[in-house]
Structure 1
Amino acid sequence: MEQLTKRFTSNPNPSGLLATSSSNSSKSTKEQSLDHTNSEEENIIGAHRFMDLDFYKAVIKDDVDGFIDTLERVTTEKELSLHAIFEQVSPSGNSLLHIAASFDNCDTVRLIAKHSPWLLSKKNFKGDTPLHIAARAGYLNTVMKLLVLNSSEPEAESESTTFLLCLRAQNEEGNTALHEALINGHEMLAFSLIYMLMQEPEPLYYLNNKEGKSPLYLATEACFYGCVSTMLDQIIKFDNQYGKLQGKSPVQAAIMKQNTDILELILKKKPDWIHLRDKEGRTPLHWASSIGYLEGVRFLLGRNASIATERDKNGLFPIHIASAKGHVHLIQELLQYWPNSRELLNHNGQNILHVAATTGELNVVNYILKTPGLESLINDTDKDGNTPLHLATMHWHPKLVSAFTWDKKVDLTLINSEGLTALDIAECSIGNTLTFRQRLTMIPLRAAGVPRNPSANARRQFSIRLEAQKTDICKDKVNTLLLVSTVVATVTFAAGFSIPGGYNSSGEDSGTATLITHKFFHVFIFCDTIAMYSSVVVAVTLIWAQLGDVHLVLIALKTASPLLGVALATMSLAFLAAVYLVVSTLNWLANVILIMGLVFLVALIALYFLLWFPMSSSCLILRYVSYYPFCLLVLVAGSGELVV
């Protein structure tokens, strides 16, 4: 390397390498290489702004001799100065030093940085310096070449300043080289940068990127124990001089990674950080409760039990966060430190059951309903007078509403500050369309006999709106059922004359069905006849509904709905019997058709049963019978908002 450097420096102007115009001939080599103000020089730079392809090919190879040869040859041909060469950039704004660093060409990096140190701080279009690129790739040797300077040289002081500026330089994402090394998981490189920073008077552990993450946060997130320990020592050393750590807390990173060792290390060296809060005012115990980190919760409470009663900006205790996320095991743990859960209320006066009812956490609701000593939470009201049942209804959680209505400890008659029961809230919250989840939420309320409060203003408004909408809704249902029944009647009528197997065309049996003695033909005839007349009866019944009387419409719908189900089922069975008849000579095919048809027929009956079965009936027997179909519908509905 020394010989190559000597070759490059022994003739500072090889083959006219630094030649410019005659007006610059009297300047020294150093003056020419650093002159940024000469207008003639700037014109040359502007004319050759983008990098020559030969330079690019030479710099990506780890061959200093070849690189220097290319410099001599190309610059002689194009008469460029050394400064003009190093001002050239790639289309992405990368200089020769950027490119050499990206290919880990240590010797070339050392050579370029030695003779053009200003390139160390030059940024590309993403704001990256060569140090960013090398640190991101994890090139330890290249990073050292860029940073390790010879303090015995006359320029040592200025180089030291350049050194610190390079380490402090942030790209468009706000990352320094140390950020990049930590983000990309280069532990040894990160530790080397941290060690070099120990020699500087100003620590860089306080610099945050645009995500608010400091190097200490990133080291904790990457679980680099040694890096975290060293940075903590330096932060303690410079704490009084440079103030408090800003941005995201490294304690949060340790908790999110569920790394108890690093969590213990941080709080051992900085015990006051157990009270650090994020922008929402949440403490480390809030974060641990949010992710269900039981070991972390126990560790934090073991160091300082008082943090269990610290609120965030929304007034939520850690136990509220655990309840909102459904972490029953954490609720059990936190209740050991403050057993009177009625004292733990958020700013809206809500306890942990209110929070679980709002977020839809069934496991928490079931735990509280079944746990002795927590009965006082069940019918407790918040500042708006809402019980957990009110809130579960308000947020359309059918599983929770069902759980509440089946529990005898729940008072179904309670009203909130607006004078509404849970059923009133459900009915008054319905818009112009009724979603599937809303329908499912209404079912257990009506089946359990939750009363209405007729004196409530909202109830009266709902009744007026309901009467205005009922006629249109019933009319649409009547028209739909009438159309379906007409189609069924048409299809079954046609099938009665297009019987499978055809007719006898001669003899005494002329005009009779050829398969009249086959038992599946009997099934076909019976089912087709039942489907035909059932659909006709449905059509006639729905014609009565056209008279305009809402009460008569409701009676017609209750009568027509089951009959239409019978018509659809028997029509399907008639089709199955007919197909079986025409393929009965091939046993395997007939059996496959029979099995397929029966499976789909069962599915059809089940779907129709779930659609029209009176699951909201308050009859105790029907309520028990409909419980499991209701659970199936809730499972199918999931979190979707199907409009029906």
Structure 2
Amino acid sequence: MGYLEGVRNLLGKNTSTAIERDKVGFFPIHMASAKGHVHVIQELLQHWPYVEEMQNSKGQNILHVAATSGKLNVIKYILETPGLESLINERDKDGNTPLHLATMHWHPKLVSALTWDKKVDLRLVNNDGLTALDNAECYMENSSTFRQRLTWTALKAAGVPRNPNASAKKQVSNWSELQSTDNYKDRVNTLLLVSTLVATVTFAAGFTIPGGYNSSGEDQGMATMISNNVFHAFIFCNTIAMFSFIFVAVTLIWAQLGDIRLVLIALRAALLLLGVALATMSLAFLFGIYLVVSKLSWLANAIMIMGLVFLVAFLSLYFFLCFPMSSSNRIMRYISYYPFCLMLVVTGSAADNDFEE
């Protein structure tokens, strides 16, 4: 329960209670670790500091238990406490390190904290010959959750290697199925449908321009607002959006050829261009509305401010789709750290005890 005074009282009456196991082989310090009670762990260590000798029935120390339970505060305490370094890379009976267990239980924040610490050996393998990255890819299902993908991303960004000597049985995993062309078919078709439909909208907007056309005189057929700077911005944005959507459509048609490498390249290019197209289409809409209400300055300014706020929010969300958070480049890893943490918060990982302090 984390009742520190009760723990002190019991230890004062009988110190040996600190090294008694329960029915499942847990010492009291294991239970404190599983519950995230760092202050209780500190008290127990004062009475029995030989924590590496205290292992449960699975051969797991308190760091293993914290990694399994998703207790970030315990992980941080152990990583930052001198004298507990021996726990960091210790293996249990299955050969799993704390990093393996945090990966297997899909705790991306814990995986990130462990991989940022230089004392953690990222190359260690378990009894099946699998690194933490191999483990993640073996246990990921075809319909993997975003939390699983974030865990995999944290491992990739840290440069955790694969073991080329891992058994063929373990290497043939759901991850290979995840990379098959069939799993990208729906994504490609959805993007193709969206790009085609919106290209139609931008095409129509190019001929139903704000203000209409001159119906007589030398300028017959010309736009009535041809000399307006905001109108120029509208035309530029709409044109860029139109051709970007067309380019996305053509790129995704290439993806239909079936080669997995070509599919991945096409999706990356299409995702980036789709962001440009959606942003410029939003700006074209904003400029068009601004033009037709420009005589009422307060309304025009309010529309412009409102639109820009939503555009910034849209670009921020889209940034996370395109930003290479799994890059092992050190500079990119530092840049992507805070977006990675923000994604954990947005996707609700905080509710899974990853952020308990």
TM-score (norm 2): 0.94
Q: Is the 8 A contact 2:142 2:177 kept in 1?
A: no
Structure 1 residue corresponding to 2:330, chosen from 617, 620, 642: 620
Partners of 2:162 and 2:124 in 1: how far apart? 10
Q: Is the 8 A contact 1:453 1:459 kept in 2?
A: no
Partner of 2:58: 348
Aligned-residue offset at 1:455: 2.5
Partner of 2:124: 414
Amino acid at match of 1:572: S
Partners of 2:106 and 2:172 in 1: how far apart? 21
Partner of 1:577: 287
Q: Is the 8 A contact 1:412 1:451 kept in 2?
A: yes
Partners of 2:10 and 2:297 in 1: how far apart? 72
Structure 2 residue corresponding to 1:372, chosen from 75, 82, 88: 82
Partner of 1:286: none
**Mapping of 1:374-389 within 5 angstroms?**
374-389=84-99
Partners of 2:177 and 2:109 in 1: how far apart? 29
Alignment of 1:554 with 2:264, yes or no, is yes
Amino acid at match of 2:76: N
Q: Is the 8 A contact 1:379 1:410 kept in 2?
A: yes
Partner of 2:299: 589
Write the deviation string for residues 86-134 of structure 1: whole angstroms up to 9, x where unpaired. xxxxxxxxxxxxxxxxxxxxxxxxxxxxxxxxxxxxxxxxxxxxxxxxx
Partner of 2:173: 462
Partners of 1:345 and 1:469 in 2: how far apart? 39
Write the deviation string for residues 253-280 of structure 1: whole angstroms up to 9, x where unpaired. xxxxxxxxxxxxxxxxxxxxxxxxxxxx
Partner of 1:608: 318
Partners of 1:357 and 1:410 in 2: how far apart? 13
**Mapping of 1:135-214 within 5 angstroms?**
none
Q: How many residues align?
A: 350
Among all aligned residue pairs of Structure 1 and Structure 2, give the percentage whose two residues are the same amino acid.
Answer: 72
Partner of 2:355: none
RMSD of aligned C-alpha atoms?
1.5
**Mapping of 1:308-323 within 5 angstroms?**
308-323=18-33
Partner of 1:477: 187
Partner of 1:542: 252
Partners of 2:305 and 2:223 in 1: how far apart? 26
Alignment of 1:495 with 2:205, yes or no, is yes
Write the deviation string for residues 560-590 of structure 1: whole angstroms up to 9, x where unpaired. 1111110011101111111111112222221
Alignment of 1:632 with 2:348, yes or no, is no
Q: Is the 8 A contact 1:326 1:361 kept in 2?
A: yes
Amino acid at match of 1:627: Y
Structure 2 residue corresponding to 1:297, chosen from 1, 4, 7: 7
The answer for unaligned runs of 5 or more in structure 2 is: 353-357
Alignment of 1:431 with 2:141, yes or no, is yes
- The structure whose Rg is larger is 1
Alignment of 1:448 with 2:158, yes or no, is yes
Partners of 1:479 and 1:356 in 2: how far apart? 43
Amino acid at match of 1:434: S
Q: Secondary structure at the match of 1:585?
A: coil
Amino acid at match of 1:419: G
Q: Is the 8 A contact 2:142 2:178 kept in 1?
A: no
Write the deviation string for residues 129-183 of structure 1: whole angstroms up to 9, x where unpaired. xxxxxxxxxxxxxxxxxxxxxxxxxxxxxxxxxxxxxxxxxxxxxxxxxxxxxxx
Q: Secondary structure at the match of 1:336?
A: helix
Q: Is the 8 A contact 1:524 1:573 kept in 2?
A: yes
Aligned-residue offset at 1:468: 7.7
Q: Is the 8 A contact 1:541 1:556 kept in 2?
A: yes
Higher relative contact order (Cα pairs below 8 Å, separated by 6+ residues): 2
Write the deviation string for residues 221-270 of structure 1: whole angstroms up to 9, x where unpaired. xxxxxxxxxxxxxxxxxxxxxxxxxxxxxxxxxxxxxxxxxxxxxxxxxx
Partners of 2:73 and 2:219 in 1: how far apart? 70
Alignment of 1:523 with 2:233, yes or no, is yes
Q: Secondary structure at the match of 1:349?
A: coil
Q: Is the 8 A contact 1:353 1:388 kept in 2?
A: yes
Aligned-residue offset at 1:638: 2.0
Q: Secondary structure at the match of 1:547?
A: coil
Partner of 1:332: 42
Write the deviation string for residues 177-209 of structure 1: whole angstroms up to 9, x where unpaired. xxxxxxxxxxxxxxxxxxxxxxxxxxxxxxxxx
